[in-house]
Structure 1
């Protein structure tokens, strides 16, 4: 369901718009109504709508000002603008903010339905595109995720079902239908030629490889789909016919089967667990990952988590991270550690939601410096510390509050931005937790903090430059909007308050 908000300063119009259509049948849920632009803007920061129907002429913040400010905190909101005759200039200005949907008052029911239908289809197309982009991102992430699966599984053999479930969706493993082929007596000298032949053989047999070749001690193991006996026999014959110069021993082939993919990988882990050096090789490209000397081995992440768990205070976390993320550490190694921390915070076996995981992966793999990656790892650890310490079970809130305190001058602060770009959690979950722990909505909390900071600036500097104060507490170049919010929270305009402060100051 798409989330819909209705904004109009006339109650009769708000009520008419709310009741004139069966929004549910169109795939919409009316989540809020607002009587002016300021109220709507605060609700947008809390309720993250997909579509907003708004009037142009409203008190405090008009429709265009609302669109301008709301677009900064969430560019994905689609606006439907309600306008009267003679308001064409307003409509022209709205086009500069990307608004494409206009309805004349009084609103025609069928025109509104057509508009909502079009927007819904556009959103569906964008969702399809987003899923395609996520698939590409997961493809780029495939190698570190595959390595992460094997490393964690080898490190936690007693916890294998939970480890596998966490990676299964991210690596797109089916519930069943996989099998593994083991080819023995493959000397490393001939490994490159063997891999080329593997690609050719699988192609000719119509078999699909779903995991890199695992190579341990002269044995190569590859995981395949379509487990028919005809496939297996053809692969066996093709492999045992291979021969390389100076090779004395004929290859031997065997197969592993499991009732489920999890069963199969449990057998694979059991087979390779006794080997000290393990290679993961993508035969199509020759990309090779060697576990033996990997600095981001599971024990490193485990040791970091053990030290972190034993640490009594959040202030110890930076020093713990400094001991791991050293200046000489390469970004690739740092990414492996951060990825391990994110995917395995508490051994719960819960796979993170795909949207959240992709947000984190995108952010992580856009980092080019180890110091940037360290900051992401710190967020992950602080989230875990917050959740462990909170008797209410609500994680992330102290992190959110700290971020707000440090960024009160940022115009684009919103719950959705913080959830997707800083905390990597569901915005719905974060919204509920914030209200539960703080007893107020996020927008009220943010405005309260901004007004408290504005008052501090006025008292300290006796500053009558309202524009400067407005900018410094996140209202940008809109001192009028700042003045309205300030009066709502204090009962005074900024000018009145400054005069009051000046009058009470000692001469």
Structure 2
């Protein structure tokens, strides 16, 4: 049952309010009463109440001073001020102490009922949130860590079902995944070295597990440097956050060097890594991951372990673009069973190789079969293993001299293990209607955990297709639109009377971290939310 304390120097007012609660609010108990602010303050040191209803003008300690004192304690009660007409300006001034609302005397019964009902609803929501938070805190740290890792895997893989299931849990745990900006770093083994060592395809997962374990341990030893998780390909990924881009990049470089050194010492296998883009929104991390995954392909052209950054590889971009275009031609030719195009595409693929060392041929061969395997729906693992074994067997023959001709023969033989077949993207009939429904859902649910994958699932289409048509129709990305809606609502809440606290506004517009909310708000309005609120209130007082 909720408890209220009534503070007023007029006995008739106190009696009226006690009678009102007993007749109209059976879920409330009048726990105590006081004649002035000092008496109320002393009693509140001994007991906890959910609501304080107080007059403004009282002897000894007035209502304003009582509000000020209450605003400075941990977990203060909700405060409702009663005031006469000539005290109205004073009551308005009390909003800076977090007062919920104020009512003019004489009180109107219906208005009082509505106000208490609103406060009751607010307390019930708060109670449910606290219970949910306590339940989540009781989960072991290992379990919480697994939830976060699985969520990040789903996020970068664009798995709408898992995102929908896991994001509310992460939200409840109050895990701050991004401070101001974040970036995905992807790490992977040099598979050509494993192949040359004769490591079976099925045993590569062991080495990937070792890499992930070392990365997790080194991250923890460095003070929790990044969130380490696995993607769908079992590559080790790290979500690295920080105050600015240079800080994030330095942390990535430091962690990569530690991981690379430990892996080489313990397994004899080197590791390369790649950095994605810097993002300030959680659901943009998939874009960072996609860029990092692509940047990792630059190891095809360079020997030795390297941490690749797109900005440092501008000269190699045309070469990778051409290679990927040729790879697409091979995939389409296989699907269409077009032997002429297929033959030409394989020749072009081999032409992209500048050297025919054992390492280079193996790297290009492994890249080829992995790309083709991604397009398979059935027997993917079986076909990939057979193709890998065929590649590996050819390098165990020491008498083979690798040239463009011998490499071409090997790749043609290897491609024979693959068959075509993939599901086509559905063709929705009304793009405008889809976008309208998405916008309507965002307006209604902007305060909740939202993702492009979740919205796409509700509409029965892929998130990639939804992203494409949304950007084409609205002329801005889904995440920019969602951010704009949230920032518009945040500004309205900050302008409200009584004004909302910044941390409450952050929560109400869907942000786990106040720091992250403040960073995004400052980017949007060129000032922190606190300054924005103060400027607006100053302008209102001036009027």
State TM-score, norm by structure 1: 0.30
Report the structure, 1 or 2, having the larger helix content. 2
